[in-house]
Amino acid sequence: MSTILGRPARLGTGTVSARRSPQTNATVATVVDAPTAVPAGAPVAEAEQFVWAQNWFPVAVVECLDPSRPHPFTLMGKDLVLWRDGAGVWRAFEDACPHRLAPLSEGRVEKDGTLLCAYHAWRFDSSGKCASIPQVESKEAEGRACGSPRSCARVYLTQEAQGLLWVWGESGPTAAADSAAKGPALVPELEELPASRVQALPWFFRDLPYSYDYFVENVTDPAHVNVSHHNVAGNRYAPDQYFTVDPLREVTAAGGFKYQVKSRAPVSNVSTSSTEFLPPSLVKIKVEYKDGAALILSLYSCPTVPGHNRHVGRQILIKTPEGKLPPGLAFFAMPMPTWLAHATASVFLHQDQVFLHQQERIVAGRNATSHTAKYFMPAPSDNMTVAFRTWLGQHAGGGVPYAGGRTLAPIDRSKESLFDTYHTHTAQCAVCKPALGRLQAARSAALVVGVAALAAALLVTGVAAAAKAAAAAAAGAAASDAALAALASLPPLSAGIAAAVGLAAAAAVRVLDGLIGLMHKYEFSHADNH
Ligand code: FES
Ligand SMILES: [Fe+2]
C-alpha cells in the first residue's frame, strides 16, 4: 500500500489514505471508503476481485487424519467428507450420498478402497463414480445405474502439500483447469532453502469459536501479543508498547498485503520483522535475525461456518548458513512428542479465545457501513487491521461467501464449549486420540501401583512394629513400654522404598491428570493471570 501522507492512495477498488496520528506522529492508515460489500454495478474490474471458491484451502493436517475412516469437514458452509482411497490419496466429496442424501462421513472406508454409504451400502470410487448398488436386480442393472451421472458423488479436488490437505473451493467442470492454474499459499522457504537449514516443527490444528476474519485480524495485530499473551509470550505492563507498522507490498485482491513491523522497544538480534497475508488463508510472520537465522510462523485459517474457523499452524526455524538456530529458540527445537505440543497449544490459544468470540458478535451488532467505521484506531499498530478489512471489503466481496449465509449464533458464555479441547481437537486428531488412550492407561497403572505400594509400606511397617513389640514383651518389658519401643523404631528399608514408590506413583497420577485434562478442556481467565 502506498502511504503518501495527506493524499489518498488508490488501491484497486478501495481508497486508503495515510495520515499522521496527532498523538504519536506515526503513519496511521485510514479507510476512507470501505463498504462491506462491493455494490452491484460498481465499476470494478473483474481481475481485481478475489474469487473465494477458486482457491485452495488448507482443511487438515495429513498426519492428524485417521485414514481408516471418513471425516466430515465444512468449508465455507459446504459440508464435505474427507477420506483416503485405496491408493493412499485423500479425497473430498460433498457430504451427501447421491441416493437419498445420507452423509457419507457417517459411512466407511472399505478394504477395496471405496467409500461406502452406511445407509444402503452404495460404494464410490476415488473419482466419485458409483461402484456398487446392492439393491438392484442384476449386474447389468447396476452397470446402467452406476453409469448415470446422478449416481456419482460430487467431487472437490484435493492435493497434499507441505504436510497439509488442500481442497479446491468449488466442484464442477472448470475446477480441474482452474485449480491447475493456481497453487496453494505455501511457505516458499521450505521449497527454496536446503533441508539442513530448515527445522519445521509439527503442525497443529484447532477448530476455534470465531470466524476466519477475526483470526486473520488477530494474528496481523502485533500489539495484542504483549497484552493478550501476558506471561506466555509477553508482558501487558511492558513500559513501551509502541509499534510502527508500514507497508512493504500494496493491498491487492490476489496478493493480500505485507507489512514491516518495528517495535520501539529494542529487540536484540532482530534485523527485520514482517507480517504477510496471502489470501485466502495464510498469515506468515517472519522474524529475521542479524546472523541470518529466522523464525517463521505459518498461521492458516480455513473458513468453516460463520462464527467458527479451523486454524492450522506451525513454527519453522531457519538456521544460519553455519547451522545455528535462531537465538533463544533452541528450546523449541528440542524433541517433543507431537501430542504434547498439541495439548499445550491451548495455553496460548485460549488467551484470545473468549474475547475474540464475543468481539465478533459485538461488532456484528453495531450499525455502520464498515468495520473500520466501527473501530477507533489511533495507533499504527492497527494498520494491518485496516489493510485486512480493506482487502475484505474492497477486494473480496465483503466477507466469506458461506453457503447458507453469514448468520451468527449469539454469544456463547459456556466455559464448557469455549474452552473445550476434546471435540475441537483431540477427538479429531489421529496423533492425540491414541496418545490420550495411552495416558489414561498409564494413569490407571500408576494408580494401581501407587495404592499397592502405599498399602505394602503400611503393612510392612505394621508387621515390623508388631514383631518388635512382641520381642520387647518377650524380653520382659511392660506392655506399654514394648508398644512405645515398637512405635519409636524406624520402619524397615523395604517399607521406605514402597512408600517412595507410592509417592512417585501419586505424583505421576497428578501429572497425567493434568495432561489428560488439557486434552479435554483448558480454562483461562485474564483476571486470574496476574
Ligand atoms: S442414502 Fe446412501 S446408499 Fe442410500
Ligand atoms: Fe493432536
Complex confidence, ipTM: 0.97
Where do we find the cell 445420507? 102
Angle between helix axes 346-364 and 212-219 (nearest 10 degrees) is: 120
Nearest CA to ligand 1 atom 3: 120
- Return the pLDDT at 12: 32
Instruction: State the virtual CA torsion across 437, 443, 445, 451 in degrees, nearest 10.
Output: -160
Q: Alpha-carbon distance 189 to 61, whole Å?
A: 19
- Return the pLDDT at 37: 36
Nearest CA to ligand 1 atom 1: 100
- Return the pLDDT at 327: 73
CA of 272 to the centre of ligand 2 (A): 32
Burial of 256 (0-12, 13-18, 19+ CB in 10 A): buried
Index of the ligand 1 atom closest to the CA of residue 100? 1
- Residue 349 near residue 233, CB atoms below 8 Å: no
The 8-class DSSP code of residue 325 comes to P
Q: What is the mean pLDDT of each run of 10 residues along the chain (530 residues)?
A: 28 39 45 37 54 98 98 98 98 98 98 98 98 98 98 98 98 96 96 94 97 98 94 92 94 96 86 96 96 96 98 96 84 90 95 96 90 91 96 95 94 95 98 98 97 92 86 78 70 88 96 97 96
Q: Alpha-carbon distance 67 to 85, whole Å?
A: 9
CA of 106 to the centre of ligand 1 (A): 11
CA of 100 to the centre of ligand 1 (A): 5
- Return the pLDDT at 487: 67
Return the C-alpha cell found at 176.
480441474
Q: Which of 95, 100, 115, 116 to mutate to test the pocket of ligand 1 (most atoms within 8 A of CB)?
A: 100
- Residue 250 near residue 395, CB atoms below 8 Å: no
Report residue 527: phi and psi, to 5°: -65, -25
- Return the pLDDT at 69: 98
Index of the ligand 1 atom closest to the CA of residue 102? 1
- Return the pLDDT at 353: 94
The 8-class DSSP code of residue 140 comes to H
3-state secondary structure 421-437: CCCCCHHHCCCHHHHHH
Q: Which of 94, 115, 122 to mutate to test the pocket of ligand 1 (most atoms within 8 A of CB)?
A: 122
Q: Alpha-carbon distance 431 to 337, whole Å?
A: 10
Nearest CA to ligand 1 atom 4: 120
Q: Which of 120, 146, 150, 151 to mutate to test the pocket of ligand 1 (most atoms within 8 A of CB)?
A: 120
The 10s digit of each residue's pLDDT in 428-450 is: 999 999 999 999 999 999 999 99
